[in-house]
Amino acid sequence: MPALVAYASRKGVGLLLWAHWQHVAPRMDEVLDTYRRWGIKGVKVDFMQRDDQEMVAFYVRLAQATARRHMLLDMHGAFPPAGLSQTYPNFITQEGVMGAEYNKFSWGRVTPGHNVKLAYTRMLLGPMDYTPGGFRNTAPQSYQAREVMPMTRHTRGQALAQYVVYDSPLQMVADSPDAYANASGFEFLERVPTAWDETRFIDGSPGSFIVLARRKGTSWYIGAMTDEEGRDIEIPLRMLGDGKYRATVWRDGPSANEVERTVTEAARRDSLHIRMSPGGGAAILLTPTR
C-alpha cells in the first residue's frame, strides 16, 4: 500500500480506502493509525444499513477519530444526513439515497423521475453520495438491467447534469475507465467543480424537472434534468453579472449516449432554449469573456 500511495502522489493524487464498517468498528484507532502511516488521505466506510443507537454512536465515534487524524470521511451504506458534518467538516458526504448502483438491478426504481425527485427531497438534507457517472446511457424504454457494464435509464445529458444538481464535495466517476475513453461530453466532467460558492434554483417542480445553477468563482454551471417526459424549457440567465459570457452547452444528442456541444455568447438579459429528451438533461458552463 505505501508503494501505491507513493505512485499516486507522483501523479498528484491522494488515495482513499473503502472499508467495511465491521472491519473498522472493533479496532478503530489501530485501523486508522495504520491507514495514516501508509499515507492514506481518507476513508469511505460502507454497509452499515442501520440507524439504531449503536450505529449512530459509531458514526460519531468515527467522525471524531478521522477528524483528529485530519482524514476525509465518506459514509456509504448510510442513513440520510442528520447534521453531523456541521460539527466534523472532514465528514464531507454520505449516501443515504437510492443511487446509481441500483441501475444494475431489475427493480425499476432508479428512474429519471426518481432522479429528479431527489433534488427536492434527499438533496435538501445535505451532500449526497449518489455516485453519478454512468456512461452507458439509454432512453428509458430501451433500458435493460444487467450487473456487468450496467446501463442507466437516462441520457448522457442527464448524466452530466447530475454533477451540478447533486451536491457532493467528494464526487465520483462511477463507471469503468473504458466507458470514458473518447466519450461524448466527458470534457464537462474534467471542468465541473465539486464545491460551490453560490446556488440558485432556476425552475422546475418535484417529480417533473429541475434546473439548478451553481457558481464557482466567476463561472456559473447549470444542470437541467427531466423525468420520463421530454420537454422544452427556457433558462433565464438573470444570475449572471454584467458583461458578456461564453455559454458552452451540452444537450441531449441524436442518441441517448451522445450530447451535442454548442458554444454561444450570452448576457444576463438572455435566456437559453433547451430541448430535453425523455429521461434527458443538459449541462451548461458560463464563463465571463470581458
Catalytic residues: 46, 101
Smallest CA-to-CA distance from 277 within 228, 212, 244 is with 228
Q: How far is CA 147 from CA 104, 134, 142, 144, 194, in A?
A: 5, 13, 16, 10, 28
**Cβ atoms of residues 187 and 123 within 8 Å:** no
DSSP string for residues in 151-206: -BSS-HHHHHHHHHHS--SS----S-GGGGTT-TTHHHHTT--SS-SEEEEEEEET
Neighbours of 245 (CB within 10 A): 23
- What is residue 65's DSSP assignment? H
DSSP string for residues in 31-60: HHHHHHHHT--EEEEE-----SHHHHHHHH
Q: Which set of grid coordinates corresponds to residue 191?
A: 471542468
Amino acid identity of residue 48, one-letter, is M
The dihedral of CA 157, 158, 159, 163: what is its sign? positive
Residue whose C-alpha cell is 434554483: 201
The dihedral of CA 44, 111, 256, 251: what is its sign? negative
Which letter, b or e, does each residue of 145-162 get, where b requires 16 or more Cβ atoms within 10 Å of its Cβ? eeeeebbbbbbbbbbbbb
The dihedral of CA 221, 247, 258, 157: what is its sign? positive
